[in-house]
Amino acid sequence: MAGISKYVLWVWALNVAVELGLLLALASRKHYRNYPAFFSYICVDLLQAVVLLPGYLRWGFSAALTERFAWGTQGIVIFARAWAIAEICWHLLGQYSGIWALARRILLFFAFLVALYSILTAGWQWDQTVLKADLGLELTIGVVIVILFLFARYYEIVADPALRVLAIGFFLFSCFTVVNGSILQHKLKQYEDLWRILGILAFLASLSLWFSAFRKPLPVLASGPALLPGDVYRTLAPEVNVRLRRLNEQLSKLGRSRKHRS
Amino acid sequence: MFYLPLFGLIALLLILFFWSLRRPRLSKPVGDQAVAFEDPGPRHITYFPQIRQALEPADLAYLASRGPAGLPRRVRKERRRVAFSYITALRGDFQRLLRLARIIAVLSPEVGAVHEFERLRLSVQFSWRCQLLRLRLVCQLAPIPELSGLSCMVSAFAVRMEAAMKELGERAAMAAELASSLESRGIDSR
């Protein structure tokens, strides 16, 4: 067990056990039908742990070979996570085709913006680049989830409890990874083990949240609502906006009249 | 301290996320939504003549000339409070109509980004200007023409929305009728 403290190993083992439990819950309750991307993400993450474990046990976390292999496989995990996030977006807004089309454009725009910023600010040293890219992607996930739920709140779309828990888990883990990674990058290289344990614990917390949500049967997802005829919105939206604009103009006269009087 | 802005961003994201998870105050049982669709007209707009009368300076001048010394001040204070309540109620009416517009957007198969952002921008402006109006009342200015304009706008908006909702109901009924007649003939409407 070169370079691995027994605490890290125990926490990691606990993590894998909870993840396995979650996978079994997802499979036994057939939740993979409604959440195939999330199910795939859990499978991929578990597979990564299984593949990495022998290397970690033999060479430790900090060996160049295991580090490269871990970061390489992390790309696949992040891709699976992004797919799971897209699934959350779809579950929340996908039934409303008009709103979904608008939200999709906004979410993609912000995701592109944050990802671009992350790529541009990443250095060109191998280990730093991968770490920064990972942090950038986690930040992107966090931003996308926030915008998604702000959007849902604005249009008063209520998320299914399981979906909320799923999003909370992803969001908290992404936030923690960004904070954890940025501190690790700049200041606390010497506390690497501690931060590794904290990272695993954060993921464990997310896994526990998901496990609590998926261990029981979920209500059947509602089929899409009956949408209005297409021209109703085209007629009403400009009309509403014109009325509001006039109202605002009316209110702005207040300021002008005061200025005039003074 | 390179990472401090990043921590600030994370804190902001956390606040926004947990705020967005809270159930909106406006959200009520489905039954209430049905009421909103059936009765989109404003409820408080009808009190505008009384409010206008309450803010008329002539009234206060009359009281100052005939009544005891403290009376005009007390009346002005009370009437201002009534005007505040009126603005709050008017804002409530407006919010209700805006909510109706959002429901229409949610249930539409196609939504225009320009219209949605325009409405968002205008509602922010509306809130801001309502606050200004309140400030004006605190400063003892009686903005009767503006208040009148505001009331008229809400009223006109409500009338238009009511007509549109009626039209919407008729179209929905027609669509349902058409779909059922196609179904009865065994034609796949898709």
Residues 6+ apart with CB under 8 A from A19: A42, A45, A46, A49, A207
CATH number of the domain within which A113 lies = 1.20.1070
What average pLDDT does range A47-73 have in this prediction? 78
Residue B12, pLDDT > 90, answer yes
Cβ burial of B25 (10 Å; 0-12, 13-18, 19+) is exposed
Better-predicted residue by pLDDT, B157 or A17: A17
Angstrom distances, CA of residue A194 to CA of A11, A180, B58, B141, B175: 12, 10, 76, 63, 63
Q: Sort out which chain A residues have CB atoms less than 8 A from B148's CB and list them.
A: none
Distance CA A10, CA A7 (A): 5
Interface test with B, best of A106, A233, A252, A261 (most B CBs within 10 A): A233
Establish if A122 touches chain B: CB-CB under 8 angstroms: no
| CA B150/CA B170 separation, integer angstroms | 30
Residues A232 and A203 in one domain: no
pLDDT digits (tens, 9 = 90+) for A210-243: 998 888 777 766 666 667 776 777 777 777 666 6
Res. B141: pLDDT tops 90: no
More confident residue, B116 or B140: B116
Report if residue A64 sits inside a domain. yes
Q: How many domains does chain B have?
A: 1
Percent of chain A whose pLDDT exceeds 90: 24
Is residue A223 in a domain?
A: no
- How close B68 gets to chain A, by Cα (Å)? 31
Q: Do residue A241 and residue A185 come from a single domain? A: no
Residue A233: list chain B partners with CB under 8 A.
104-105, 108-112
* A193 in a structural domain: yes
- Residue, of A223 and A258, whose pLDDT is higher: A223
A247 interfaces chain B, CB cutoff of 8 Å: yes
Q: Is the pLDDT of residue A261 over 50?
A: no
Instruction: Please say whether the dihedral angle defined by the alpha carbons of residues A76, A78, A80 and A83, taken in this order, is positive or negative.
Output: negative
Residue B176 has pLDDT above 60, yes or no: no
- What separation, in Å, do the N-terminal and C-terminal C-alpha atoms of chain B show? 60
Instruction: Name the residue with higher pLDDT: A128 or A23.
Output: A23
CA–CA separation, B111 vs A234, rounded Å? 8
* A11 and A117 together in one domain: yes
- Together in a domain, A64 and A119: yes
Query: Are residues A69 and A30 located together in one domain of the fold?
Result: yes
* B103 part of a folded domain: yes
Total domains present in chain A: 2
Phi then psi dihedrals of residue B142, to 5 deg:
-105, 95
Interface list for A 131-160 with B (CB within 8 A): 139, 142-143, 145-146, 149-150, 152-158
* In a shared domain, residues A234 and A214: no
| Residue B146, pLDDT score | 62
Average pLDDT over residues A170-177: 91
3-state DSSP call for residue B141? coil
The interface residues of chain B toward chain A in range 33-52, judged by CB-CB distance below 8 A, are none
Query: Residues of A with CB below 8 A from B153's CB?
Result: 243, 246-247, 250
Give the residue numbers spanning the domain of B81. Answer: 26-166
8 A C-beta contact, residue B3 and residue A186:
yes
Closest Cα in chain B, distance from residue A197 (Å): 20
Asked, for residue B68, whether it belongs to a domain, the answer is: yes
How far apart, in whole angstroms, are the C-alpha atoms of residue A181 and residue A178?
A: 5
Q: Residue A71 pLDDT more than 80? A: no
Q: Which residues of B touch A156 (CB under 8 A)?
A: 24, 26-27, 99, 102-103, 106
Domain encompassing residue A254: 228-262
Instruction: Please state, in angstroms and rounded to a whole number, the distance separating the CA atoms of residues B172 and B184.
Output: 18
Query: A1 in a domain, yes or no?
Result: no
User: What pLDDT was estimated at residue B28?
Assistant: 45
Domain match, A212 and A233 both: no
Tell me the pLDDT tens digit for each residue of A16-46: 899 999 999 999 988 888 899 999 999 999 9
Closest partner residue to A239 (CB to CB) among B3, B98, B160 is B160
Percent of chain B with pLDDT over 70: 57
Residue A114 included in any domain: yes
Mean pLDDT is lowest, of A91-105, A143-157, B72-86, B171-185, for: B171-185
Q: Mind listing the pLDDT tens digit for each residue in B43-70?
A: 666 676 777 777 777 777 787 788 787 8
On whether residue B7 sits in a domain, the answer given is no
Residue B179 lies in a domain: no
- A108 with A200, same domain: the answer is yes
**Residue among B55, B63, B71, B69 nearest B140 (CA):** B55
Q: Where do runs of H (alpha helix) occur along A94-123?
A: 97-121
CA distance B39 to chain A (A): 17
pLDDT at B90: 74
The pLDDT score that the predictor gives to residue A258 is: 42
Work out the number of other CB atoms within 10 angstroms of the CB of residue A65. 10
For residue B13, being part of any structural domain is answered with no
Is B97 inside any structural domain? yes
Same domain, A71 and A168: yes
Residues A96 and A183 in one domain: yes
CB-based contact (8 Å) between B177 and chain A?
no
Instruction: Establish if B23 touches chain A: CB-CB under 8 angstroms.
Output: yes
Are both A23 and A143 inside the same structural domain?
yes
For B:107-146, CB contacts with A below 8 A are: 107-113, 115-116, 118-120, 122-123, 125-126, 129-130, 132-133, 136, 141, 143, 145-146
pLDDT band at B35 (very low <50, low <70, confident <90, very high): very low
Tell me if B177 is assigned to some domain: no
- The SS3 assignment for B55 reads helix
Is A81 contained in some domain?
Answer: yes
In a shared domain, residues A37 and A11: yes
Q: Residue A26 contacts by C-beta under 8 Å, 6 or more apart in sequence?
A: A32, A35, A38, A39, A42, A214
The encoded tokens of residue A128 equal 């730093």
Residues 6+ apart with CB under 8 A from B67: none
Q: Is residue B145 part of a domain?
A: yes
pTM score, two decimals? 0.71
